[in-house]
Amino acid sequence: MLSSQRAVITGASKGIGNALAIRLSQLGCSITMVARSEHLLLDTLEELYTDHKQKHNYLVCDLLKLMYEAGKQCVDELSNTFDESSILINCAGVANHNLLYKLPNATVVSTLQMNLLSPILLSKFAIMPMIKHLRKTKVIPQILNIASMLSLSGVTIGGTVPYAALKAGLLGLTQSLLNELSGKVRVNAVLPGLVPETDMGKTGSKSLPSVLLTELVDTCEKILTHDSYNGDLIVADGKGFRKLEQKY
């Protein structure tokens, strides 16, 4: 289904990113996993399905350093990987469960860098190499952003202000990028509720609608394997597959 394609997945060492890496490997993708922990990446590498056509690898990369000199090697390695990739999944993210006025400034800034700035930069790095890859393979590239139900104005939980604001920014990134790329790259976003199996889900508020990890991965698979999805914001809250209605 996704045979011969390469997917770059951030946050692939655990949680949602880990589950997506495993599922896409089962669908025939070669996987490039991006995360900070090499030992967790090695563990995930062992879990990936592999046939004779698939070549999986990983990049140990601190996404907080993408804009700095310390991140230059990571940027160079990512750029080389994007030359042969057709899928980018921006999945890495952090949450801080505390009231805004109590958060250290440095924590707010690092949350911004991880949850919004790194997806913007990764998309920037990926666009032209992926479009060049399209010309060679005729496979339309795609970017999938993992946002959150907290990015919706009607779903709020105390202690999540930076996280919610930045995940809302991912929705803006999704639709603005779609318009800018004029159909050359498919761009979509998934808005999960609480995922109990993940570290973030274990500490999150139980008042947020929940979705099983397998159901969330099913939703992502449907988007990635059907060309009809483009510019869509898909809610995954355990109540079935549905697009977010946008009102202007």
pLDDT digits (tens), the chain, 248 positions: 788 899 999 999 999 999 999 999 999 999 999 999 999 999 999 999 999 889 999 999 999 999 888 889 999 999 999 999 999 999 999 988 899 999 999 999 999 999 999 999 999 999 999 999 999 999 999 999 999 999 886 787 888 899 999 999 999 999 999 999 988 999 999 999 988 877 766 666 666 788 999 999 999 999 999 999 999 999 998 888 788 876 54
Residue 114 inside a domain? The answer is yes
Beta strands in the chain (DSSP E): 6-10, 30-35, 57-60, 87-90, 142-146, 186-192, 233-236, 242-243
Residue 96 inside a domain? The answer is yes
pTM higher than 0.85: yes
Q: How many CB atoms lie within 10 A of CB 45?
A: 18
Residue 220 inside a domain? The answer is yes
Residue 1 inside a domain? The answer is no
- Nearest-angstrom CA–CA distance, 84 and 59: 15
Structural domain span for residue 121: 6-243
Number of structural domains found in the chain: 1
- Give a three-class secondary structure readout of 106-161: HHHHHHHHHHHHHHHHHHHHHHHHHHHHHHHHCCCCEEEEECCHHHCCCCCCCCCH
The domain that holds 182 is classified in CATH as: 3.40.50.720
